């Protein structure tokens, strides 16, 4: 059946094959994700929250955005069921939808993650080329990567839940210990920790000069945190830490095994390493039915795996999975490894590791 016939069948509800219906939903959802991302970036959802129904012209006035663009965007949102429209052509964002949309979403922003589609789309041509010629796409090819990554980690980092993974860690941090965040990006997590625990000292390492410059700017004035540009493949003889943290920063390294060994060696006696990383199983067949499987593999294909390959690395991929994670941690020299999942963060696993 050609697409024209398929669309006609859909519009006339003539028993379109279920798989073709699914494909139509896929393109609808992909397009909706892009439009949600635009609404998120422009703050439209935050403006619409708890506001009375209004026409496109009125929403244009309320948001200060171009009326023609707002009208078309509301068309996408209304047909996708994100906003509702009444008989007078007025649009409203239902409260139970507003809970998850916008930077200030009360139940946690899900519009934030839609930005990944726009972050990845610009490298499609380069990924197609890599399929034919091998190699990878470097970090520098993703203009908004660190901005969107920092926004995602702000949503997944729960300070209390993370510290509570290790009994007694809160007291140690209160007394004063040395902490390192490896592959820290813009460093939002350790800046938050540095504010909460002024007697402890925090160090953030990252390969990206841009991310480290942003981290230093965000931390301005905090005396107990420092950021250094460092290729963590070379993270040897950089001192010993009582606590090492990685947030989503192992699977996209060039050589994750080498980094894990470096981290194991950097722990002071009695020290602990907490690794937050994507939760999945290692085998594809065990990930069929994973609620975020297609998202994880596609982000990996278009970012995590390819940035590792671009550094001459192994391209482990985001779906390296808990079985391989535990095996790599053991090989790196960790004798005690516990894996935990946290309720607020269904995307990730947390590995608590000691020598």
Ligand X SMILES: C[S@@+](CC[C@H](N)C(=O)[O-])C[C@H]1O[C@@H](n2cnc3c(N)ncnc32)[C@H](O)[C@@H]1O
**Site residues (CB under 6 A) for ligand X?**
139, 149-150, 153, 183-185, 205-208, 211, 231-233, 247-249, 252-254
Give 3-state DSSP helix, strand, coil % of the chain, rounded to 5: 50, 15, 35
Rounded to an integer, what distance in angstroms lies between the CA atom of residue 150 and that of residue 92? 30
Rounded to an integer, what distance in angstroms lies between the CA atom of residue 330 and that of residue 325? 9
Give 97 or 251: the residue with its C-beta nearer to ligand X: 251
- Cβ 243 to ligand X, closest distance in Å? 15
Give 39 or 185: the residue with its C-beta nearer to ligand X: 185
- Cβ 19 to ligand X, closest distance in Å? 34
Give 91 or 116: the residue with its C-beta nearer to ligand X: 116
Q: Which of 200, 252, 236, 265 is nearest to 190 (CA)?
A: 200
- Cβ 244 to ligand X, closest distance in Å? 12
Rounded to an integer, what distance in angstroms lies between the CA atom of residue 251 and that of residue 136? 15
Rounded to an integer, what distance in angstroms lies between the CA atom of residue 339 and that of residue 355? 15
Q: Which of 104, 114, 117, 107 is nearest to 43 (CA)?
A: 104
Give 200 or 208: the residue with its C-beta nearer to ligand X: 208
Q: Bridge-partner residues for 338, per DSSP?
A: 352
- Cβ 123 to ligand X, closest distance in Å? 15
Residue 99 CA neighbour count, 13 Å, CB half: 4
Give 56 or 114: the residue with its C-beta nearer to ligand X: 114
- Cβ 235 to ligand X, closest distance in Å? 8
């Amino acid at each position: 059946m050609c697409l024209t016939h398929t669309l006609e069948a859909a519009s006339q509800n003539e028993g379109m094959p279920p798989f073709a219906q699914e494909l139509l939903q896929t393109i609808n959802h992909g397009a909706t994700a892009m439009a949600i991302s635009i609404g998120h970036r422009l703050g439209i959802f935050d403006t619409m929250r708890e506001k009375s129904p209004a026409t496109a012209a009125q929403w244009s006035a309320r948001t200060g955005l171009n009326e023609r663009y707002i009208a078309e965007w509301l068309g996408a949102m209304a047909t996708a069921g994100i906003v509702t429209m009444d008989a007078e052509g007025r649009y409203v964002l239902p409260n139970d939808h507003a809970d998850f949309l916008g930077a200030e979403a009360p139940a946690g922003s899900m519009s934030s993650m839609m930005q990944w589609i726009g972050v990845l789309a610009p490298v499609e041509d380069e990924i197609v080329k890599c399929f034919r010629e091998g190699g990878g796409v470097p970090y520098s090819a993703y203009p908004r990567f660190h901005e969107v990554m920092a926004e995602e980690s702000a949503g997944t980092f729960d300070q209390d839940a993370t510290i509570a993974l290790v009994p007694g860690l809160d007291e140690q941090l209160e007394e004063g210990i040395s902490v390192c965040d490896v592959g820290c990006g813009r460093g939002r997590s350790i800046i938050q920790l540095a504010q909460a625990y002024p007697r402890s000292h925090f160090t953030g390492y990252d390969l990206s000069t841009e991310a480290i410059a942003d981290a230093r700017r965000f931390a301005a004035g905090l005396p107990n945190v420092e950021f250094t540009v460092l290729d963590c493949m070379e993270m040897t003889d950089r001192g010993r830490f009582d606590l090492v943290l990685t947030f989503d920063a192992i699977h996209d390294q060039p050589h994750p095994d080498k980094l894990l060994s470096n981290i194991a060696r950097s722990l002071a006696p009695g020290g602990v390493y907490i690794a937050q990383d994507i939760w999945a199983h290692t085998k594809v067949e065990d990930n069929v039915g994973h609620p975020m499987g297609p998202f994880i593999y596609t982000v990996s294909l278009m970012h995590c795996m390819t940035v590792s390959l671009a550094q001459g690395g192994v391209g482990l991929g985001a779906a390296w999975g808990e079985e391989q994670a535990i095996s790599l941690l053991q090989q790196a020299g960790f004798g005690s490894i516990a894996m935990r999942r946290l309720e607020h963060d269904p995307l990730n696993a947390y590995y608590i590791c000691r020598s």
